[in-house]
């Protein structure tokens, strides 16, 4: 898909780039907003540099947090503009508005080779409006001065928003290098993957991953389960789980899913031991027990060492691995060993590995493991899950409709397999 960007006429043109710059921030001791993980900003740089090298003027649009249509100073993109400037080693003009006459004047004053970043687009309620007419009015304001549009924020392609879907129907459009790389990577695990193929799923709720399991079950050889969702699987197998996170209403569904997996010859691996505590705390008492031996009032907060050893062994010969969701409450050191074990196993793998966005990507970075040690580290948690579920992403479908010459909403959307 990267050839689509090469085919876009950008020389001497103003190119609007929708990036995902929704990075975590915190206040330092002086009260200043600081960026705590610039991974998404770094990921946006190659597309911007490519456009600049071809003589474009680049105007980046993005969001930060959920201001819900109001101006929230702590969610300003000003610190992001400063960091983007450092990474590009070039000035980035920060335009402290989303639209309007001042934005028009500021953009028209730019020359080829320059970069600007608009203020948080979600400060304007029209960005996320459910009304297509309202979203379209905002997109139309940008289209007055924009000549082309590039969708490069994979973390937002699952949203129907003015800066994602509506602007695509108004200007010549193409996916950026980041989105192209994301889609190519997920195609490798969804279409004719190398085997053995293992999927590692964790996180809190099995209900959040059920559609992923259903879509992948016919493709995979092994499913390794951890995190809070593992306890619903264990209950379905007849184990008591103490005070562990449990979706009791999902137990019958999980039993049916496990029966289906067995019929298909898919190996489902569940924890055999767990790290337990009475509360999530750095100084709480911790025990390691076999599954089924969790006392009342205690909760499982990580897979145990024997489970980590078995999971590591099961991943050693895999030629394709997808990991989405931590094995425990990795933010607390006492409950991070399971997640670390899976991360290390993938980092050592000679197969093609994908780390899903969101908590999984945050976990490897918090542990100091470089993204380069994996086949692909996704920048979109929700978007990656929707791709794995087999769903069409609105931001990609919008661009494909334009490429096909039919921008009208409601056109049947192509499947992931069409995004080549």
Residues designated as active site: 40, 205, 358, 382
Please report, to the nearest 10 degrees, the dihedral formed by the alpha carbons of residues 280, 199, 313, 376 taken in order: -90
Looking at the DSSP bridge assignments, the partners of residue 92 are 115
Looking at the DSSP bridge assignments, the partners of residue 95 are 118
Q: How big is the CA angle at 1 (ends 18 and 195), to the nearest 5 degrees? A: 115
- The candidate with the shortest Cα–Cα distance to 375, out of 344, 353, 393, is 353
Measured distance CA(89)–CA(230) in Å, rounded: 46
Query: Residues 221, 198: contact at Cβ < 8 Å?
Result: yes
Q: How many CA atoms lie within 13 A of 276 on its CB side?
A: 25
Measured distance CA(267)–CA(264) in Å, rounded: 9
Measured distance CA(97)–CA(75) in Å, rounded: 13
Query: Residues 221, 266: contact at Cβ < 8 Å?
Result: yes
Query: Residues 308, 286: contact at Cβ < 8 Å?
Result: no
Spatial neighbors of 89 by CB under 8 A, at least 6 apart, are: none
Q: How many CA atoms lie within 13 A of 273 on its CB side?
A: 14
Measured distance CA(153)–CA(21) in Å, rounded: 8
Spatial neighbors of 56 by CB under 8 A, at least 6 apart, are: 10, 11, 12, 13, 14, 15, 112, 148
Measured distance CA(196)–CA(221) in Å, rounded: 6
Q: How many CA atoms lie within 13 A of 254 on its CB side?
A: 24
377 CB neighbour count, 10 Å cutoff: 23
DSSP-assigned letters across all residues of 27-77: E-TTS-EEES--HHHHHHHHHHHHHHHTT-EEEEE---S--TTS--GGG-S
Q: What does each C-alpha distance from 402 to 122, 157, 396, 411 come to in angstroms?
A: 24, 15, 10, 11
Measured distance CA(229)–CA(207) in Å, rounded: 8
Residue 332 tokens read as 């607390």
């Amino acid at each position: 898909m990267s050839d689509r960007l090469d085919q876009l006429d950008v020389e001497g043109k103003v190119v609007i780039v929708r990036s995902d710059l929704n990075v975590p921030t915190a206040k330092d001791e002086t009260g200043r907003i600081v960026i705590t993980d610039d991974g998404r900003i770094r990921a946006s740089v190659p597309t911007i540099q490519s456009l600049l090298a071809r003589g474009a003027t680049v105007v980046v649009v993005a969001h930060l947090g959920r201001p819900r249509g109001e101006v929230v100073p702590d969610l300003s993109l000003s610190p992001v503009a400063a960091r983007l400037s450092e990474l590009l080693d070039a000035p980035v003009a920060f335009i402290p508005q989303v639209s309007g006459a001042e934005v028009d004047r500021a953009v028209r004053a730019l020359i080829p080779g320059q970069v600007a970043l608009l203020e948080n687009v979600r400060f304007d309620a029209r960005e996320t409006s459910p009304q297509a007419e309202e979203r379209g009015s905002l997109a139309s304001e940008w289209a007055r001065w924009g000549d082309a549009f590039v969708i490069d924020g994979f973390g937002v392609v699952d949203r129907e928003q003015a800066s994602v879907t509506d602007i695509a129907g108004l200007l010549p459009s193409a996916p950026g290098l980041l989105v192209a790389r994301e889609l190519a990577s997920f195609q490798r695990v969804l279409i004719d993957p190398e085997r053995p193929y293992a999927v590692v799923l964790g996180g809190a709720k099995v209900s959040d991953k059920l559609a992923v399991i259903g879509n992948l079950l016919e493709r995979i050889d092994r499913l390794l389960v951890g995190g809070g969702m593992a306890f619903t699987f264990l209950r379905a197998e007849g184990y008591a789980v103490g005070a562990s996170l449990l979706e009791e209403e999902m137990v019958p569904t999980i039993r049916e899913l496990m029966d289906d997996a067995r019929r298909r010859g898919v190996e489902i691996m569940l924890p055999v031991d767990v790290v337990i505590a009475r509360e999530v705390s750095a100084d709480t008492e911790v025990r390691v027990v076999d599954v089924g031996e969790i006392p009342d009032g205690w909760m499982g907060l990580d897979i145990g060492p024997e489970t980590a050893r078995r999971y590591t062994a099961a991943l050693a010969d895999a030629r394709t691995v997808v990991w989405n969701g931590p094995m425990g409450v990795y933010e607390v050191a006492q409950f991070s060993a399971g997640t670390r074990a899976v991360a290390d196993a993938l980092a050592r793998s000679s197969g093609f590995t994908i780390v899903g966005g969101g908590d999984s990507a945050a976990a490897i970075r918090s542990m100091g493991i470089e993204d380069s040690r994996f086949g692909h580290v996704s920048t979109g948690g929700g978007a990656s899950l929707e791709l794995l579920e087999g769903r069409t992403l609105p931001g990609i479908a919008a661009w494909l409709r334009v490429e096909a010459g039919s921008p009208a909403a409601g056109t049947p959307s192509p499947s992931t397999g069409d995004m080549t």
